[in-house]
Amino acid sequence: MIIWIGLAGVLGALLRYSLGKVISGKLGTAFPWGTWLINVSGSLLLGLLYGSHQAGRLPDEMWVVWGTGFCGAYTTFSTFGYETLTLMGRERYGKALLYVASSVVLGVSGCLAGVSLTA
């Protein structure tokens, strides 16, 4: 199973990197849109997976592979922290606060929405 988790992680990391580049290229880098959209969408996906698992529609093995492997690599807390500190270092305190608050609120809301959609 560890190999499957690793392979799902590779897919998640590659998708995160690729989408981050595309999103940043289209929306710019004044605000970390790439990481923001990836983390919110990853939270929604994790909620969908969790809800499906809790409802008995997703086997334990698939929950671990896709929840831990894919979502764990697709979303990124370290980049979120780095980008927050970068905004603060550039004295963009309002953007930093918006980034942190909206990431947390929408991330948790996305996860909750995913669980609700699978009920």
Taking the C-alpha atoms of residue 54 and residue 64, their distance in angstroms, rounded to an integer, is 13
Binding positions: 72, 75
What residues are designated binding site for Na(+)? 72, 75
Confidence of residue 119 (pLDDT cuts 50, 70, 90): confident
Burial of 68 (0-12, 13-18, 19+ CB in 10 A): middle
Percent of the chain with pLDDT over 90: 99
Task: Report pLDDT for 18.
Answer: 98
Whole-prediction pTM: 0.94
State the DSSP string of 37-97. HHHHHHHHHHHHHHHHHHTTSS-HHHIIIIIIIIHHHHS-HHHHHHHHHHHHHTT-HHHHH
